[in-house]
Structure 1
Amino acid sequence: MQRAARSAVCGAARVPPARFFRAAPPVLAADKEALLELRRRTGLPFLQCREALRRCGGELGQVNCETDFVARNAEFQRLVEQAALGTMAHCRAAAAPPTCCTKHLLREDELAQLQGGDGGTLLSDHLALAIGKLGENLILRRAAWLRVPEEDGYIAAYAHGWLPAAAPVAMGTYGALVACRVTEPRPPAATLEEVGRKVAQHVVGMAPTAVGTPQDQPRGEEETRLLAQSFLLEPGLTVGQFLGARGALAVRDFLRFRCGEEPPGRGG
């Protein structure tokens, strides 16, 4: 991926950290409606749907596909690659080279109409083929891209969780992109990569909702502004203080994805 433009994609399959064999508790009558609805949405066996509901305390709005077979399958990974490359192409065609940071969130209908990395076939067609080959229900739920000016921009990235070997795009349970401005004098590339990755890792771990300013005063554990949060890797500093001390990057914007989360405005 180029430095000045990166994309993130979220699907409906994620990888559980481990597999356990146990006797599943009985499903109460009150849970049957949720079980049937989950079965209808995913097409997965009742036992897997019941286990997914059990892990989520019976709350249907937090449940997504839980099969590692899907996420570890090469066909699924190719679909994710096609979606990521299609999103990148959408980013490049969206407008002239940016003079500031720009961001765009793609809805399901927009994402379905993108062309995949092959430059011809629609993602909706790639999705239909993958569903047919895997025999599992899949949803390309959302995607997003960030752009920054080429001359002073830098996009940091971090993916957390299971990562397939030699994957053409980064995959994981959590991911973050951070759009930054490079400070002068320009630091070495290794410094930019190190500092940027640490900030993106913080975004994954602490889930800020806004950038804020370096002058913001911290508000404790409830702080949601990135630059005022206690830095994940050096708790004695705020993120703003960490960046000020390193003198490499200034944060402009960020994206954070958690596999399976609902897009904004849809609840869950």
Structure 2
Amino acid sequence: MQRAALRAAAAARPVPCRWFRGPVPLLAVTAADKEALLRLRRNTGLPFTQCREALQRCAGDLEQAEAWLQAEAQRRGWSRSGTLRSRRAREGLVGLLRDGAAAVMVEVNCETDFVARTPQFQQLVERVVLGTMAQCRASPPRGDKYLLQEEELGQLRTSPGGELLSDHFALAMGQLGEKLALRRAAWLQVPEATGHIGAYAHGSLAAPGPVAMGTYGALVACEVTEPALPAPQLEALGKKVAQHVVGMAPTTLGSPEDQPQGEHEKRLLAQSFLLAPDMTLGQFLAAQGGLRVRDFLRFQCGHEEEGEGQ
């Protein structure tokens, strides 16, 4: 009789929020849940996996989850900066998009090629590309080419007035379990009436939507010359120049009159053309007509470019 009473009394006690290894029911994924997860991550500095489990075990109560996280962090010696920050992220994708007389290109990094090929990561790259294009459209003219500075990357949004991309990165790191980084972003702009932008993504994936993705990318700002080429030929010629930029990795533009200086030539217009090595790119364009190169951008995922086409 006494044992039965003791068991009933124990069962009636409230169960404290504790860490244990058994399965925990997931919270419904709502906007409020995401906001709570982000707030808990910002308040504690602990990894998203631990913040998410704290919310699950404490039934979504933010204050209780934060209190338990702080207690567990002190007891277990967890690093408040999280374990992901110190890891290297050299894999990932280059994403690019053309929209009329403007084009943007970004590099988003992760730790493994496996994650780079997941739909979740590719959706994140697409968000970054679209956010960069929105920033390009909303910004005053800054010349033909603009590379975003570090503080500007941190303030990119999904759309004008939309959510910060940094919040999407934080959530994606919790979901994918890898360090993710927006390494760089840039855009090219040309005159509407007389300009054309050649584009090419190498190792491209069959990504949904208008964003092209690969491990290399190039954008080439061109002036359309007379006599004008038909649109399909103009498109094909611009793509060939962008392919050359990816393959030959020039660092400066040079001029059509430059003479080649061997296999280590880094001036774009003086390099032997990738698809016709017996002539320079400048000579090839002069013979073809239709385009004059004004500037270019080249991104190689995980690699520090020299000069970035300056």
The TM-score, its normalising length taken from structure 2, stands at 0.64
In the other structure, the counterpart of 1:9 is 106
Q: Cα distance, 1:169 vs. partner?
A: 0.8
Counterpart in the other structure of 2:190: 148
Structure 1 residues 264 and 232, CA, compared in 2 at 3 Å: closer, same or farther? closer
Distance 1:191 1:71 in 2: 33
Alignment length (residue pairs):
210
Q: Deviation of residue 262 (structure 1)?
A: 3.4
SS at structure 2 position matched to 1:237: strand
Counterpart secondary structure, 2:193: coil
**Residue type of the alignment partner of 1:7:** V
- Structure 2 counterpart of 1:219: 261
Distance in 2 between residues matched to 1:165 and 1:264, nearest whole Å:
29
Query: How far apart, CA to CA, are the structure 2 residues paired with 1:235 and 1:262?
Result: 27
Aligned to 1:19: none
Q: Does 1:195 pair with 2:237? A: yes
Is 110-119 or 167-176 further displaced after alignment? 110-119
User: 1:83-141 CA deviation, whole Å, 9 max, x = no partner?
Assistant: 11111111112215x8xx51111133311211114850111111111111111110111
- Distance (Å, rounded) in 2 between the aligned partners of 1:213 and 1:168: 33
Residue 37 of structure 2: aligned partner = none
Cα deviation for residue 158 of structure 1 reads 0.4
Deviation track 1:48-89 (CA, whole Å, cap 9, x = no partner) reads xxxxxxxxxxxxxxxxx2x22211111111111111111111
Are the equivalent residues in 2 in contact too, given 1:142–1:263 (CA < 8 A)?
Answer: no
Q: What is the correspondence of 1:1-268 to structure 2 with a 5 Å cutoff?
A: 1-13=98-110, 65=111, 67-96=112-141, 102-117=144-159, 120-262=162-304
Per-residue deviation, residues 150-193 of structure 1 (Å, max 9, x unmatched): 01010010010141343431110100000000011221111111
CA change 1:246–1:219 in 2 (3 A) is same
Distance in structure 1 (CA, Å) of the matches to 2:305 and 2:260: 28
Partner Cα distance (2:116, 2:145) in 1: 27
TM-score, with length taken from structure 1: 0.74
**Residue 115 of structure 1: SS of its match in structure 2?**
coil
Between the aligned partners of 1:165 and 1:263, the Cα distance in structure 2 is 25
Q: What is the rounded CA distance, in whole Å, between the counterparts of 1:162 and 1:152 in structure 2? A: 29
Alpha carbons of 1:131 and 1:212: their partners in 2 closer, same or farther (altered >3 Å)?
A: same
Inter-partner Cα distance in structure 2 for 1:89 and 1:108: 17
Secondary structure, in 3 states, of the residue corresponding to 2:214? coil
Q: Per residue, is there more strand in 1 or in 2?
A: 2
Taking only aligned residues, the RMSD between alpha carbons, in angstroms, comes to 1.8
Partners in 1 of 2:264 and 2:305 — Cα distance? Answer: 22
Task: Provide the rounded CA distance (Å) in 2 between the counterparts of 1:165 and 1:125.
Answer: 23
Pair 1:232–1:209, CA change in 2 (3 A): same
Summarize the Cα distance change of 1:126–1:118 in structure 2 as closer, same or farther, 3 Å threshold: farther
| Alignment check: 8 A CA contact 2:127 2:158 kept | yes
Residue segments in structure 1 that go unaligned for 5+ positions in a row: 14-64
- The answer to whether the Cα contact below 8 Å between 2:108 and 2:183 also exists between their aligned partners in 1 is yes
Determine which structure has greater relative contact order: mean sequence separation of CA pairs < 8 Å that are 6+ residues apart, divided by chain length: 1
Using the alignment, how far apart are the partners of 1:174 and 1:77 within structure 2?
15
Distance 2:193 2:268 in 1: 24
